[in-house]
Amino acid sequence: MSEAVDALVIGAGPAGLMAAEELAAPGRRVVVAEAMPTAARKFLMAGKSGLNLTKDEPVADFAARITGGCLPPDPRGYLSQDESQFGPEEVIKWARGLGIELFTGSTGRVFPKGMKASPLLRAWLARLVAGGVEVRTRWRWTGFEDGFRFATPDGPRVIRPKVTVLALGGASWPRLGSDAAWVPWLRAAGVEVSEFQPANMGFRVDWSAPMQRHLGAAVKGVAIRAGDAVSRGEWVIGRQGIEGGGVYEIAAALRDGAPGEVDLAPDLSEDALAGRLAKPRGKLSLGNWLRRALGDPVKVALLMEWGRPLPDDPLALARLAKALPLRHAGPMGLERAISSAGGIRGDALDGELQLKALPGVFAAGEMLDWEAPTGGYLLTTCLATGRRAGQAAARLLDR
């Protein structure tokens, strides 16, 4: 069975729903097909600990954090381009237009006052349905067949749209729907797709037995360096390694081979820390003595884990604590990554995010070859690319 529609959006994540919003118009039939039982599952999961919508900073600074083959790291990219501009300021206005109250934290990160993603998603879906958008769940795209073929609860179906926006996600968190199953079909159609690799991920560490007592502990008040990237964010000592926002900020550089260093006392100079370490130890155990200097047993544990043998000289010990080698066994896999790098290459797209090999088919979100750190950058860019692809598809329909 096949049907004709004006516009088809495949994928009901933030990029797909934003594209659908731009395509919706009176008398226009817009269908959103989603493989999972409900829309935006990854969006909801990411918002469980607090939905970070965007970061309130100048669009030029914001865009500089986005890298990759599709999105140039400057304000002339898809965050700020003529009528398609959709940077932090526009995301804030858009969320408030859905009735969501927001607040901006001390770091500039913007959150809903209720912190959760579900109220925003419910309001958004209600507005889309009221605008005539039809959202079909458990509709899994299975390839091309005189249109787009789907496996559905009612058997195989084919949709023949006038325009299409693909927003199927990358390859991270596959249990939430982003499994990159679409790659072979697009490659067979002549679309260049680069290999996926994890982004915003943790790193595997084979902890020693003494570190077991610190599993689950938060690491605060340190700085991590990897290449030119520096992070002061919090991270966690997990059973499989290190994870958390502080690690994700420098994850790309660490993944690409830059050696990592941890500054256990970023607010102290080397000489000031050496002065603390020069004080007599007396009858204190080594751990308690170091704790007096560093102020945190977790920092001491990391120093003893990654810094042995510890030097006796206070200045050498301070130098080590200020540049402690981050010893890891490589990045965690795509199944644990917050996002993925790689995807549809920039030279496979025109300036409207239309696939050159498939006229009338546009792509948005994590399908594209780009990456950005967490902290609002990922979500804003998914929304921005979805909006741009939807606008371009709508203009093509109008023509």
Cα–Cα dist 217/249, whole Å? 19
In a domain, 330, yes or no: no
Res. 67 pLDDT band, cuts 50 70 90? confident
- Identify the pLDDT of residue 281: 87
pLDDT in tens, 329-367: 999 999 989 999 999 999 999 989 999 999 999 999 999
- Report whether pLDDT(79) > 70: no
* CA–CA gap between residue 284 and residue 318 (Å, rounded): 19
Q: Which of 283, 299, 325 is the last residue of a domain?
A: 325
Q: Tell me: the pLDDT tens digits for 5-46?
A: 999 999 999 999 999 999 999 999 999 999 999 999 999 988
Question: b/e for 184-214, b at 16 or more Cβ within 10 A?
Answer: eebeeeebbbbebbbbbbbbbbebeeebeeb
Angle at 128 between CA 374 and CA 12, to 5 degrees: 45
User: How many domains is the chain partitioned into structurally?
Assistant: 2
- Indicate if 53 and 151 belong to the same structural domain: yes
Phi-psi region of 182 (alpha: psi -120 to 50; beta: other; left: phi over 0): alpha
Domain boundary among 303, 325, 347: 325
pTM of the model as a whole:
0.92
Residue that is last in its domain, among 301, 325, 349: 325
CA dihedral 330, 335, 340, 344 (to 10 degrees): 120
pLDDT at 83: 52
Provide the domain limits for residue 116.
Answer: 2-199+335-398
